[in-house]
Structure 1
Amino acid sequence: MKKMQPCFGLEFEIYKTKDIFQQANLMNILFIHQNFPGQFKHLAPALATKGHKVVSLTLRVKEPAKWKGVELIPYTIKRQPSTGLHPWLVDFESKLLRAESCYSAAMKLKKRGFSPDVIVAHPGWGESMFLRDLWPEARIGLFCELYYDSINGEAGFDPEFPQHAPDEEPIRLRLKNLSNFMHLEVGNLGISPTEFQANTYPASVRDRISVIHDGIDTEVFCPNSDASIKLETGEVLTREDEVITFVNRNFEPYRGYHVFMRALPRLLKERPDARILMVGGDGVSYGARPAKGQTWKQIFIDEVRGRIPTKDWQRVHFLGRIPYETYLSMMQISRAHVYLTYPFVLSWSLIEAMAIGAPIVASDTPPVTEVISHGDTGRLFPFFDQDRMVDEICTVLSDSDMRDALATSSRKVAISRYDLKDVCLPKQLEWIDRLAEMQPGKFS
């Protein structure tokens, strides 16, 4: 039986829990993600298409809205961060503030009659920390992105950027995991994009975490022999040009920007016809920020610019953040796509490049080695070895048969393991079904 109730100015079609499996087999599903849809951009609309009532609480919108069948409900952070707080507690307080505010918005939903059968949350910002207290009968699924590790993870990986207080780093990370731990206490199942990310979690809960990638639409991310990209200079580049691509959300050390920049003087000299196309922003997504008033992008430009002749520097193009269609075309003309990362979360862009058939040259770091096999789906090099990186790029650029073989193999892997429609989304929907059938309770 359905009933209509107003909520935040929107009309909600609510499915009573008792009717879910007896009648329409439909559910009320709540997504929690501060920047929704994030990793749920395919799953949430797919559930709405199936007829489920899908709602999201998010910071991303200011007013109630609807997106691909999903009701978007805004919440706002109610309190300002404290001053003079112990530095080890700053991270947890920021998560607590979000959790409190999200809980307050969720209570308003509950008062208007909304009761989720399933909650799917990205716990990374703490938002969903108290939702078990509000809806004890809900099944809670967690997006398990990363459990912080002071030994095997990204902390301390790069000696150039040591921790401010290395002796205290294990303590800081233990407290950073406090939100993770509290979520594991109330969740039922987890989902993680890669084995590397899932394996960062404690062994006691690992068997509850399914490894299912977010999914790549390999029909969109596919080769295109007619692709081209027009630069600001008016010049048009095609697959006939020697194009090297490098993509970051933001240019920063976590994604090897500094290593790539330091390789440019030699790379430009070795490949006099190459064009370097670099996509990314000036901010910081991960890790420490540079000194006030500076950007990592400009810091490393300044470091290498004096060793690169102007005629060579003119072949380096910082494209900033570009439209989706431009990004796709750029990757389709790439003869060598370079990807580096600390032992950290894997970027979508790497799998997208594989699906497109761009020959990959990547750092020999987890989780890259989970998807790239040296000599088969790409060429690998030690993260800090910029000369080895240049050697591998030159090897790929000099051998068209190798490029073709790498492209064919990497696209085959992208389709067989990471295709959205045939592999990942069906597995995600099966995961939701398993979650819905569980008894409410602890993760472990």
Structure 2
Amino acid sequence: MKYLIVHDAAPGQFIHIYKHLRSEGHEVVVASRRGTTHRLPVKQLVYELPEELKGSRSGYTAKVIGLGLSLYEELKPLAFDGWAPDVILSHASRGASYFLRDLFPRARIVSLFEWYYGAPNPDTGMDEGAFRQQAANAAATNMPISRDFDCMDAGYTPTLFQRDAFPKSWHRNLEVIHDGIDTDFYTPANKRAIEVNGKRFRKGDEIVTYAARGMEHTRGFVEFMAAISEVQKRRPDLQVLIAAADRLCYDPGEKGKGLKSFVDETIDYDRERTHFLGLVPEAKFVSVLQVSSLHVYLTKPFVLSWSLLNAMSVGIPVLGSASAPVQEVISNGDNGLLVSMDDGQALADAMDHLLADQVEAGRLGRAGRETVIERYGLAQCLQRQLDLMRG
């Protein structure tokens, strides 16, 4: 069969599907955005905004259409030569897939939906101008996502929490299927050592890990750093490994530099025992988790990160924020601990407790791994995705 995979950073969340299709000998064409392209041993197409639409002067709607037309132009020669995919796998996002149904009317389109943006709560005290701007941004961002929903044959979203962000009328047409965690790769390791900035860390050292795409409020970076500075004062041997880029990915407003400079200026953490790794490749990230004594995952109500489930799969205890996406995975005291992200004292106390009580930490770590195997294991998630694609 012929498959077309469309994702701004392809293969992205479709990595396991992509590998499976290749292993079965299917013809796969991948389309991704310029600047985010991974070199793959298949035919690749690259789309991008036309130069005249780049920058803040162009409205979001024009950019959505421009991105869709860019991919349309890239695919048109294939279509005119008679090539057509049997299945299109599309990431519902910024508009690249806007014209796929027009170009390939007979293809089965399966779309991955991550998030639907709501207007801000009017009771937050936000001034009128900011409220109107955020509401307008949400409506514009949802436009290409709604188009994908109208054009799809089937759709899915990774978690119940994420599905519930979409309009209720959509729910019956959105399957809840996680991307899947490779629990054979993210597995416990009794003997593991890594080197970071010339320092060697081993399994058994007292290490707290934190991971995110960016250093920002959405993922509780400031709250984590404030709490860890307190725990470092209590535990002189504690080391901290932070796998994150100093950038903003999900916080509202302009994207750019992250919050590390703010933390450096306002929080008295131990610079000698806090190690910033940046974004690390997966092979190194699993080693970081395997030497960890405790992983901390904090998030506001938003898309659930893979890193939470990766850490649980490795079998280390996880301290998470008591927010809806995390509560879907972690039952407090059963397979992890949950505290309010806004309660710095509770965060510090919970970290201190899990580092001190290795019996409790071990029990929670083992239970966390069982949760991932039972609910998010790659084999079962991949099979459900393939079944959806085949109809």
Please report the TM-score for the alignment, with normalisation by the length of structure 1: 0.82
Identify the residue that residue 78 of structure 1 maps to in structure 2: 50
1:330 CA drift (Å): 1.5
1:62 CA drift (Å): 9.7
Identify the residue that residue 262 of structure 2 maps to in structure 1: 299
1:148 aligns with 2:117: yes
Q: In structure 1, which of residues 193, 196, 201 is the aligned counterpart of residue 158 of structure 2? A: 193
Identify the residue that residue 89 of structure 2 maps to in structure 1: 120
Identify the residue that residue 437 of structure 1 maps to in structure 2: none
Q: In structure 2, which of residues 357, 365, 381 is the aligned counterpart of residue 424 of structure 1? A: 381
Identify the residue that residue 30 of structure 1 maps to in structure 2: 4
Identify the residue that residue 173 of structure 2 maps to in structure 1: 208
1:245 aligns with 2:209: yes
Identify the residue that residue 19 of structure 1 maps to in structure 2: none
Identify the residue that residue 380 of structure 1 maps to in structure 2: 338
1:63–1:38 CA distance, 2 compared to 1 (3 A): closer
1:370 aligns with 2:328: yes
CA RMSD between the two structures: 2.5
Percentage of matched positions with identical amino acids: 33
Identify the residue that residue 41 of structure 1 maps to in structure 2: 15
Residues 178 and 381 in structure 2, CA contact (< 8 A), matched pair in contact too? yes
Q: Secondary structure at the match of 1:109?
A: helix
Residues 148 and 176 in structure 1, CA contact (< 8 A), matched pair in contact too? yes
Residues 36 and 60 in structure 1, CA contact (< 8 A), matched pair in contact too? no
**Distance in 1 between the 2:292 and 2:278 partners?**
17
Q: Which runs of 5+ in 2 are unaligned?
A: none
1:78–1:171 CA distance, 2 compared to 1 (3 A): closer
Identify the residue that residue 147 of structure 2 maps to in structure 1: 182
1:245 CA drift (Å): 0.5
1:55-70 alignment to 2 at 5 Å? 55-60=29-34, 66-67=40-41, 70=42
1:99 aligns with 2:68: yes
1:111 CA drift (Å): 1.2
Whichever of the two has the greater Rg, that structure is 1
**1:379-430: CA deviation from partner (whole Å, max 9, x where unpaired):** 101121111111111111111110111011000011111111x211111111
Residues 290 and 296 in structure 1, CA contact (< 8 A), matched pair in contact too? no
1:96–1:265 CA distance, 2 compared to 1 (3 A): same
1:49 CA drift (Å): 2.4
AA in 2 matched with 1:71: K
1:394 aligns with 2:352: yes
**Distance in 2 between the 1:357 and 1:424 partners?**
20
Q: Secondary structure at the match of 2:277?
A: strand
**1:283-330: CA deviation from partner (whole Å, max 9, x where unpaired):** 2221246798x541112121113xx4xxx4311111223343332122
**Distance in 2 between the 1:237 and 1:134 partners?**
53
Residues 65 and 71 in structure 1, CA contact (< 8 A), matched pair in contact too? no
1:129 aligns with 2:93: no
Number of equivalenced pairs = 391
Q: Secondary structure at the match of 2:201?
A: strand
1:73 CA drift (Å): 2.1
**Distance in 2 between the 1:386 and 1:44 partners?**
42
Residues 65 and 73 in structure 1, CA contact (< 8 A), matched pair in contact too? no
Residues 316 and 362 in structure 2, CA contact (< 8 A), matched pair in contact too? no
1:220 aligns with 2:185: yes
Residues 94 and 145 in structure 2, CA contact (< 8 A), matched pair in contact too? no
AA in 2 matched with 1:223: P
1:264 CA drift (Å): 3.0
Residues 79 and 97 in structure 1, CA contact (< 8 A), matched pair in contact too? no
**Distance in 1 between the 2:355 and 2:164 partners?**
35
Q: Secondary structure at the match of 1:122?
A: strand
Q: Secondary structure at the match of 1:140?
A: strand
**Distance in 2 between the 1:171 and 1:78 partners?**
23
Q: Secondary structure at the match of 1:371?
A: coil
**Distance in 2 between the 1:36 and 1:62 partners?**
8
Residues 62 and 74 in structure 1, CA contact (< 8 A), matched pair in contact too? no
1:83–1:340 CA distance, 2 compared to 1 (3 A): closer
**Distance in 1 between the 2:76 and 2:120 partners?**
40
Residues 129 and 179 in structure 1, CA contact (< 8 A), matched pair in contact too? yes
Using the TM superposition, name which of 317-326 and 345-354 deviates more. Answer: 317-326
Q: In structure 1, which of residues 342, 346, 355 is the aligned counterpart of residue 300 of structure 2? A: 342
